Structure 1
Amino acid sequence: MSTTPDGKDRKRKALVIGAGPVGSLTALSLYKRGWAVEVWDTRDDPRGREIAVNNLRSINLNISSRGYAAVSSVDPAFADALLRESIPMPSRLIHHLSGHCEAQLYDPLRGNCSNSIHRGLLNQRMVEALPPGVEVRFNTKLARIEFEHRTAHGVRTKRGEPNLLDSPPETPQIPVLAKAEKVDSEFDLVVGADGSWSKVRQEMMRAERIDFSQSFIPHAYIELHMAADPSKPGGFAMPPNHLHIWPRHKFMLIALPNKDGSFTLTLFIPFDELHQVSTPDEARAFFKTHFPDAWDIVGEKLVDDFMQHPRGNLVTISVTPSTYSSHAMLMGDACHSMVPFYGQGLNCGLEDVRVLGTYLDRFAISPTTPLAPGVTDVQLEAALSAYSTERAEDLTAICELALANYTEMRSSVLNPLYHLRRAVDYVLTRIYPSTPRDLSPGVAFPTAEVRGWTALYDMVTFRPDIPYAEAARREAWQKKVVANAAVTGGIISAVGVGVFALKVVRPWLERSPPETHAKGRYHWAPFYGIWRDITHRAPYYLSDWTDAWNYRVIPSTWFIFFANVLPGLAFSLDLIEETGLYGVQEVLLASFMAAFVAAVFGGQPLLISGVTGPITVFNKTIFDIFRGRADWNYLHFMGWVYLWAAILHWVAAALNAVRGLKYVTRFACDTFGFYVAAVYVQYGIQVVTRQFHQSSTSSALLGILLAVLTLVLPHCANGLARSGYISKSFRRFCADYGMPITIVAMTGLAYWGRFKPLVHEEAMTLPVVPHSFRPAGGREWLVPFWHLPSKYVGMAFPFGAILFILFYFDANVSALIAQGAEFPLRKPAAFHWDFFLLGITTFIAGLLGVPAPNGLIPQAPLHTASLVQMGYEDEGEEETPEEEEEQPGEKRPRSTSTALADAEAGLKRRARASSPPRNPTPDERREPRQRREVPVAVVEQRASNLAQGALCLVLMVKPLQHVLGLVPKGVLAGLFWYMGTDALLASGLTAKLLYLLREAGARSPSDPLNGVRKRQIALFALIEILGFGAAFGITQTVAAVGFPVVIMLLVPLRRCLRRVFSAQELAVLDGPVASAFTMQSVAAV
């Protein structure tokens, strides 16, 4: 019937399913518009009941300006009453692990705040606000809907006493439901406000094609409780006017205040982490470790709640369209369930009610209708369709923003870049503020353009005049503005520095050439060594780039890339597998960082730095020492170790302490080089033997086969390069690319034929991550090591001092060997400046949570050797005794142009791999005046180091991570063996041992060792072996962290050898590492 008995149009009737905040406000809004309203809810009637504060569904709700505007649009007085029932929260209070608390205001300019209200209290007040004309049926469950007849069928139950007659005596006497009562109701519009698992939505999906999606995130939430403390003001154990957050990167704890002084706590944690906390003892340790200040307040109650309360899921639900004809619609969580961050789940649902009202006004939907029940209302259908279509974009945007805010709350709030962006937003908001627009009836959101600058949190939470989608778009635009401003500022700064260098620094350098400052009165002044290095090296900076236009750079880049990155990854396998806190991405980033700094800012760009065996031993030993301490964080501790070491680097460089290298001779370098080579061989053995425990025997044997082939083939290529057989170009190709080709070929061999199933077994290849630029464990790149408990900060200093000793010796010795007397270098060194830069990279490594890069042996000298250019003497030219005594680099041009030009005169150059000169053939012996092949120059440039570092960075992308993950560990072991044996064969200690083993008749008549007694040679070699044995032996013990001290003691030990060996014997057995030209930088003269 379309009219009432008196002939008037009948009232439209709305059936609202769900009496929560959104359903109650919907009912109140439609009732005030003149509709007949009926409400069904499955729960008990909350009116007149006492609100239980601590229950299993106690997570507080947050009413922001959006929610307040929505309630106020329906009943302003009721909105004000709700605010009086809530607790204002103008800021977050961040609880750091160290115990420090940091307040972060939401809106420092206008003072806007969110408001915490208990869920049960809000539900009760919402239902109590419904007028008597609204028929409310509690304990009523929707069963099905007949849309064609506009009828809903439900079941109504009442709580009853236990039925003792029908239950056996041992059955617990619990309340049971009385006999169900069927309930039917006709409607014009049914509104589904019945939550995430909406029954109305299920019925709509049966009647109409509706797109529905739900996605869970792998995190759970557990609700906990902090009781009131009667001894504190208001009963609050913590400051009440804050949203308390304990961010711990992977997980977090939050707390919202209640009026009675208690706090509702919620733990958000990944399921993977949650499964590791399964017993009360583990839960107790978990809370004491990660939330010590909360534990001090709540204590054992946290463990009880954690073990007893259920684990909730975090889900995002999306429905499109959210309406069906003029018959039904969804609101709140039934339409757009979202994760509970930003606190917009409630506010967005309340805003649905306000926005729906504007569409009813726009389409002039009357509270009465002349249509009979069951007839489609075209006008109402148009209004609902427009609401669904135009609201969908906002609902999608807020669901995405809520997910992003989870990362912000648990991690980004600890990031200095986050604070920098907040500061930028604050400044720009003060300079160019945005004025809120008025909300008007009939218009969901103002159409006038939003002007000014507003932070994203303000737009989402405190600006109901800005739709969620527009807030997301404006934030994307604001991010671009900030990023472009940063890039522009960087470019302007770079141009400014360049102009300053050209207009000020360059004329000053030309007026004050380096020669005039040698051993002046500032010789011992702080920073003199750094200043001298910069002034001596700066004139060559441009030529360092132009000299890279040389073929030698190409094979050198590929050679050092394979020689650096793969051993670094293999060295880190222990750290990756034992700690779980480092990964392949960290090693690659460390290698790139070291290469970039050395190539762009370094004084000597030929030096190669990366992840070394000693640093992995050092890091792993620290992990083993402190493993199991509840309040100890490994990456935070290593951040402090690196910071202390960096400070010592800077102080040492400033005080010209690198001058101590003038006491370092071949004795210490040969012993240390022998130690590093032995560590390479040992690691190769460990890699292949470990595979017998990680994989099948067949796979392990395949690993040994690949390792042996990877060892032998590069040595064969080098032997062919030195043999004199076949053509010169082919021999040069073998020397340049023998090792890279071997690695690629052996990797391919592992996937050939019957080998393929074996190499696919677990732990046979490198463990890579399936993401680009993602650190191990999914943590953030920035490590907030300043949150480490203070007691560990002081404990980190001795380890920082040991690391400083290691780097002082290791980095500087690798630099000395890479600039050895055998290399005809023509550009000055920069030991003090490079050591200062090493301190910077060490500090950055601690910030990023990556292994600290350091000078590499043997990679650094191999890189220089790969860039050596060879040439022939002019025909008929004889070398004079004076030329024989001249040291490489002593007569070097100081021109800022390419240093290779002078070397071309009188020589016919050809490029080839640097290797020991081959023995003369019989024909050559018969032709003593035949031209000899001699080193001409080194291609001293910055491109090869930068290029190999860039390749490391490129390897961090997901597709190349997959390629890197194909490399078998057996190939890495073979690479270890090749580089270790190659270094052993080139060692001065090996040369002495081979001399002692060789028959007298087989020794070269020109060997300088012929002038030293055999007993003295054996004694000197024995002392070197003992030094190597001490360093290698301590590395195998729990005291491995102290091996740098043993290495450093070799320097004073060498001074003591003057009592055992004569000066003439030491001149043969030992000697300077680098030429006098290179040592000028060390002495800062």
Structure 2
Amino acid sequence: MAPIGSLQRTGRLAGGVLEDLKRRVLPWYGDDFRQGLHPKALASVLFLFFACLANAVAFGGLTELLTDGAIGTIEMIVVTAAGGVIFALFSGQPLTILGGTGPIVIFTGLLYAACQRFGLPFLTTYAWTGIWSGVFLIILALTDASAMMRLFTRFTDEIFAALIAVIFIVEAVKDAILPVFRQNGNSTLELASLVLALMTYALARGMKRFTKTPYLRRTIRNLVSDFGPTLAIVIATAFSFLYADVPFDRPAVPDQLTTTTGRPWLVDLMSIPTWAIFATIIPAFMATILLFLDQNITSRLVNAPSYQLKKGGGFHLDLLVLGFIVLGASIFALPWIVAATVHALNHVKSLSEAEIVEVDGQRRERIVGVRENRLSALTIHILIGVSILLLPLIKLIPMAVLFGLFLYMGFVTLAGNQFFDRVTLWFTDRNLYPNTHYVRNVPRRIIHYFTAIQVACFAALWILKSSPIGILFPVLIALLAPLRLWLDRFFKREHLQALDADEDMDEAEIAVH
């Protein structure tokens, strides 16, 4: 899916990193900032600022829950701000947004449980695991390991993107919707929280689709669409103050910059036995697989041909920068951040220009260009850093509003996932199937077999990550690539090409027309 030049193995130490610098960074660095001086970039900044802050608050809170308070929201905000600024300045593909992700948070919880089982201090064990993982990522970047992503196809990308999107949706449903039906708490609070979450989702979705309505002038419709998610957060938060007697849950952040437990920021790296320092190489190996795949799969999705990017990607350089970020964060026992699939894709989409085209009698939206820049990502993470000084204001946003934003981003990501589209065919009248390239060129039975295999892989990932051996689920993600190669023996080449092509065939047809 990415420009093939960015995934070539050079055979030289740091060869891929140097190629990314020469091809993507140096020729475009100044233009990356000029392209950010545009209202669309401003709208993207405001939307993604709230989205990334919501991600940091929510996943920071989840990390705090899974680690019994050892690592929490304030640590997640700090590392998101610092790591995001570093990545925006030095990466090869600045459209990629870093942040906490569901799989990484889950892995952190599993590591904490292992530390409890073996009687090891969690923070020091976590720090050494991250240090080793950071070193491994740097080695992988310097040896062009990202070139292995050529073995990955849409098959794996779709499953991984669906996993991330569903984690967002499940967290939103679990925290904002299910409590209403449990009937074991404050029913007024739970119902009001549900209303806020659904209001945020509906407003964000409705205003984002405002460009498709005939109302007002096109310039105004575009502004409403671009600023839709931001306006949804502001309106829903303001609405919550109309019910002053309802004790809405709000972000649990301290009033000043300090760690969640009040511990020193630096970790005592020598507070575990020497054997344990080297034993952490084992979980570090698992974490490295997860971080490597999370980063590179998201990069493939960001650089998909359908987004019409002109400047190309920078896989090797991105992985090198990520390795240093993980290494530095681990010394302070801060959460590991990586390319956040949902936020990165929403970042690209928020910077895109689209037009309505007609293919085989169907009207559909096609992206014609993206305002590729560094300034939007840089500003987003600077604002997150500034938000540390405005912690009392962050507390004003109800958690229900943030979970409504989670719900919106999860469904937006699923909506662009061909795997999800093919799953819906199971429940669709055959006479009403969309006239897509794979429906035209592949028998229905083959489409359903291929989709069923992806569903089975998705279910296996979900079950494994929730099991006592969940720490191994990164290995299963890595095994999706050889599994896809194995499918070549059971499907015709032309069928796989239609179902699993790097580029949507309909997009290619549009380009020809």
**Aligned pair partner of 1:668 in 156, 171, 184:** 156
Q: How far, CA to CA, are the matches of 1:694 and 1:564 in structure 2?
A: 32
1:518 shift after superposition = 11
Q: How far, CA to CA, are the matches of 1:518 and 1:1066 in structure 2?
A: 24
Q: How far, CA to CA, are the matches of 2:136 and 2:7 in structure 1?
A: 25
Change (3 A) 1:975 1:1058: same
1:1074 shift after superposition = 9.9
Aligned 8 A contact 2:115 2:125 in 1: no
Matches within 5 A, 1:474-873: 523-537=10-24, 538-578=26-66, 579-627=68-116, 632-688=120-176, 689=178, 696-752=186-242, 755-759=243-247, 764-771=249-256, 773-870=257-354
Aligned 8 A contact 1:816 1:1074 in 2: no
Aligned 8 A contact 1:750 1:759 in 2: no
Q: Secondary structure at the match of 1:979?
A: helix
Aligned 8 A contact 1:658 1:831 in 2: yes
Letter of the aligned partner of 2:444 in structure 1? K
Letter of the aligned partner of 1:769 in structure 2? P
Q: How far, CA to CA, are the matches of 2:482 and 2:467 in structure 1?
A: 24
1:962 shift after superposition = 0.9
1:870 shift after superposition = 4.6
Letter of the aligned partner of 1:722 in structure 2? K
Residue 511 of structure 2 corresponds to which residue in structure 1?
none
Letter of the aligned partner of 1:584 in structure 2? T
Aligned 8 A contact 1:677 1:980 in 2: yes
Q: Secondary structure at the match of 1:994?
A: helix
Aligned 8 A contact 2:303 2:312 in 1: no
Q: Secondary structure at the match of 2:280?
A: helix
Q: How far, CA to CA, are the matches of 2:220 and 2:312 in structure 1?
A: 34
Deviations along 1:731-786, one digit per CA (max 9) or x if unpaired, are 2123211111111221222221xx322225xxx11101011x21112222222324
Residue 356 of structure 1 corresponds to which residue in structure 2?
none
Q: Secondary structure at the match of 1:937?
A: strand
Deviations along 1:70-96, one digit per CA (max 9) or x if unpaired, are xxxxxxxxxxxxxxxxxxxxxxxxxxx
Deviations along 1:250-302, one digit per CA (max 9) or x if unpaired, are xxxxxxxxxxxxxxxxxxxxxxxxxxxxxxxxxxxxxxxxxxxxxxxxxxxxx
1:984 shift after superposition = 1.9
Q: How far, CA to CA, are the matches of 2:262 and 2:504 in structure 1?
A: 45
1:948 matched to 2:380 = yes
Q: How far, CA to CA, are the matches of 1:637 and 1:846 in structure 2?
A: 10
1:654 shift after superposition = 1.4
Q: Secondary structure at the match of 2:39?
A: coil
Q: How far, CA to CA, are the matches of 1:1074 and 1:770 in structure 2?
A: 49
Aligned 8 A contact 1:819 1:1074 in 2: no
Change (3 A) 1:690 1:933: closer
**Aligned pair partner of 2:394 in 964, 967, 977:** 964
Matches within 5 A, 1:179-190: none
| Bigger relative CO (Cα 8 Å, ≥ 6 apart) | 2
Q: Secondary structure at the match of 1:539?
A: coil
Aligned 8 A contact 1:637 1:793 in 2: yes
Q: How far, CA to CA, are the matches of 1:519 and 1:682 in structure 2?
A: 34
Aligned 8 A contact 1:574 1:620 in 2: no
Change (3 A) 1:707 1:642: same
| Structure index of larger Rg | 1
Q: How far, CA to CA, are the matches of 1:786 and 1:1063 in structure 2?
A: 55
Q: Secondary structure at the match of 2:312?
A: coil
Change (3 A) 1:519 1:989: closer
Residue 501 of structure 2 corresponds to which residue in structure 1?
1071
Matches within 5 A, 1:365-404: none
Q: Secondary structure at the match of 2:127?
A: helix
Q: Which has the higher strand share?
A: 1
Q: How far, CA to CA, are the matches of 2:293 and 2:499 in structure 1?
A: 21
Deviations along 1:922-949, one digit per CA (max 9) or x if unpaired, are 9x99xxxxxx996443211111001000
Aligned 8 A contact 2:57 2:73 in 1: yes
Change (3 A) 1:742 1:918: farther
Name the count of aligned residue pairs: 496
**Aligned pair partner of 2:369 in 937, 948, 952:** 937
Q: How far, CA to CA, are the matches of 1:836 and 1:869 in structure 2?
A: 31
Deviations along 1:788-821, one digit per CA (max 9) or x if unpaired, are 2223212311111111111111111111111111
Letter of the aligned partner of 1:840 in structure 2? F
Change (3 A) 1:969 1:548: closer
Aligned 8 A contact 2:32 2:373 in 1: yes
1:596 shift after superposition = 0.9
Letter of the aligned partner of 2:122 in structure 1? Y
Structure 2 stretches lacking a partner, 5+ long: 506-513
Q: Secondary structure at the match of 1:758?
A: coil
Change (3 A) 1:633 1:720: same
Moved more, 1000-1009 or 533-542: 1000-1009
Q: Identity over the aligned pairs, expressed in percent?
A: 24
Q: Secondary structure at the match of 1:1022?
A: helix
Matches within 5 A, 1:186-335: none
1:673 shift after superposition = 1.0
Letter of the aligned partner of 1:990 in structure 2? F
1:1053 matched to 2:483 = yes
Residue 439 of structure 1 corresponds to which residue in structure 2?
none
Letter of the aligned partner of 2:463 in structure 1? G
Matches within 5 A, 1:146-157: none
Change (3 A) 1:601 1:1015: same
Q: How far, CA to CA, are the matches of 2:394 and 2:7 in structure 1?
A: 51
Q: How far, CA to CA, are the matches of 2:170 and 2:366 in structure 1?
A: 36
Change (3 A) 1:742 1:933: closer
Change (3 A) 1:1018 1:653: same
Aligned 8 A contact 1:646 1:840 in 2: yes
Q: How far, CA to CA, are the matches of 2:156 and 2:365 in structure 1?
A: 31
Q: How far, CA to CA, are the matches of 2:179 and 2:121 in structure 1?
A: 28
1:1023 matched to 2:453 = yes
Aligned 8 A contact 1:664 1:1072 in 2: no
1:1006 shift after superposition = 5.5
Letter of the aligned partner of 2:205 in structure 1? H
1:974 shift after superposition = 1.7
Change (3 A) 1:747 1:672: same
Residue 6 of structure 1 corresponds to which residue in structure 2?
none
Q: How far, CA to CA, are the matches of 1:519 and 1:1038 in structure 2?
A: 36
1:567 shift after superposition = 2.2
Residue 118 of structure 1 corresponds to which residue in structure 2?
none
Taking structure 2 as the reference length, what is the TM-score of the superposition? 0.90
Letter of the aligned partner of 2:198 in structure 1? V
Letter of the aligned partner of 2:372 in structure 1? E
Q: Secondary structure at the match of 1:858?
A: helix
1:657 shift after superposition = 0.9
Q: How far, CA to CA, are the matches of 2:174 and 2:269 in structure 1?
A: 32
Change (3 A) 1:713 1:800: same
Q: How far, CA to CA, are the matches of 2:105 and 2:93 in structure 1?
A: 25
Q: How far, CA to CA, are the matches of 2:485 and 2:78 in structure 1?
A: 40
Change (3 A) 1:1033 1:1005: closer
Deviations along 1:469-499, one digit per CA (max 9) or x if unpaired, are xxxxxxxxxxxxxxxxxxxxxxxxxxxxxxx
Q: How far, CA to CA, are the matches of 2:342 and 2:435 in structure 1?
A: 30
